[in-house]
Amino acid sequence: MRAAVIGGGSWGTALACVLGHNGHDVVVWSHDAEVARALAKTHENPKYLPGMALPKRVTGTHDLTEANAGAELVVAANPSHVTRAVMREALPSLPKATPIVCATKGIENDSLLTMNEVLEDVLPAEMHPYLVCLSGPSFAKETVLKQPTAVVVASPWEKMAQRVQRWFSNEYFRVYTSIDVAGVELGGSLKNVCAIAAGISDGMGFGSNTRAAIMTRGLAELVRLAVKKGANPLTLSGLAGMGDLVLTCTGELSRNRTVGLGLGRGQKLKEVLAGMTQVAEGVRTAKSVHDLARKLNVEMPLHEAIYRILYEDLPPKAALQSLTSRELKSEFQLH
């Protein structure tokens, strides 16, 4: 099978690596011409995964038409804020009747659409049944190192999800299927905001008690919003919800937790982001979640506090005070 991966960052490269190990020929498109050349000549991504050898079947290009030519599978793995523009540019060369796997986690700022909804907005209706989203607890570096990993692919068309499942699955990369696209996408997106909160807590010197509270209450808020969008709450107890939340809130490789650590230690957001080479999706998603929660009238105090820290320069200590001084209530309420 020949696959095209649109997006030469760490996660797009890791998914290309999985497909390459499975015996498929993979062409990775990168907007960075130097990354594309390195992938083609040395089978390595020196910018995002330096020193990590990729299968010989994985190559690269700076030409979208070349990447998509003859592809039997397309993986969209660009950062959320450029997904619309890149996929609109790719549209003329996208093969017909071909699965398109969205592997990006995020919510578009202006439209408040998830990435699957963005693709539905960009692509013609006849392509919509071929859309599949992939999410779950998965750091790119550990995936390339073949460390055991489990993810989920979601599509309303179960047979489409099962086809993608077979192409990606192997002895270290286990893929489950779901028909709950909304739950899988929102779980993968909102956990990034919770990870910033967990990082802030760690940066302020708080311990495991606080982190556990953030993760659990963050999940409760996540479920409230997801259910309002039509998701199955059980989905959020699985890989795309709790699984990804645990990974991103506790893992040393988490970009969003890294942002939080800096903020918790007194750095300004611009200063933190200036020191990073990769996108922390939670920063943009925090704004989208803030706007979406207000639009749908969903109470999300933890996410609101992170929004205010990021966009209104609220000091983390004041944000903590606003959360701990809220009215006392029952833990579980009807969603």
pLDDT tens, residue by residue, 30-46: 999 999 999 999 999 99
Contacts of 208 (CB under 8 A, 6+ apart): none
Distance between CA 245 and CA 192 in Å, rounded?
Answer: 8
Q: Is the residue at 335 inside a domain?
A: no
pLDDT of residue 334: 55
Asked whether residue 276 is assigned to any structural domain, the reply reads yes
Query: Considering only CA atoms, which of 28, 34, 26, 31 is closest in space to residue 2?
Result: 26
Residue 207 lies in a domain: yes
**Domain C-terminal end among 179, 206, 229:** 179
Per the structure, how many domains does the chain have?
2
- Is 191 assigned a catalytic role? yes
Q: Which two tokens stand for residue 301?
A: 């105090």
State both tokens at 75: 């993986």
Q: Which residue shows structure tokens 């890294």?
A: 258
pLDDT tens-digit series, residues 108-118: 999 999 999 99
CA distance 284 to 193: 9
The answer to whether the beta carbons of residues 12 and 75 sit under 8 Å apart is: yes
Residue 333 counted as domain residue: no
Single-letter amino acid code for the residue at 265: R
Report how far residue 27's alpha carbon sits from residue 91's, in angstroms, rounded to the nearest whole number: 17
Last residue of a domain, one of 179, 204, 222: 179
User: Could you read off the pLDDT tens digit of each residue along the chain, which spans 335 residues?
Assistant: 999 999 999 999 999 999 999 999 999 999 999 999 999 999 999 999 999 999 999 999 999 999 999 999 999 999 999 999 999 999 999 999 999 999 999 999 999 999 999 999 999 999 999 999 999 999 999 999 999 999 999 999 999 999 999 999 999 999 999 999 999 999 999 999 999 999 999 999 999 999 999 999 999 999 999 999 999 999 999 999 999 999 999 999 999 999 999 999 999 999 999 988 888 899 999 999 999 999 999 999 999 999 999 999 999 999 998 998 999 988 886 54
Decide: 90 and 68 in contact? Cβ < 8 Å: yes
- Phi then psi dihedrals of residue 35, to 5 deg: -65, -45
Name the β-bridge partners of 185: none
Contact 28, 13 (CB under 8 A): yes
Task: Give yes or no for a contact between 329 and 304, defined as CB atoms under 8 angstroms apart.
Answer: no
Is-contact 40 8, C-beta < 8 A?
no
- Give the strand order in the sheet containing 58-61: 58-61, 25-29, 2-6, 73-76, 100-102, 131-135, 149-154, 173-178
Same-domain status, 122 and 261: no
pLDDT given for residue 179 in this prediction: 98
- Identify the domain containing residue 319 by its residue range: 189-324
Give φ, ψ of 25 to 5 degrees. -90, 125
Beta bridge partners of 131: 100
Same domain as 255, residue 133: no
Among the listed residues 257, 279, 240, the one whose alpha carbon sits nearest the alpha carbon of residue 153: 240
Structure tokens at 259: 């942002």
Cα distance between residue 39 and residue 61, in whole Å: 8
Predicted pLDDT of residue 276: 87
Same domain, 10 and 127: yes
Among candidate residues 105, 191, 228, 329, the one labeled active-site is 191
Predicted pLDDT of residue 335: 45
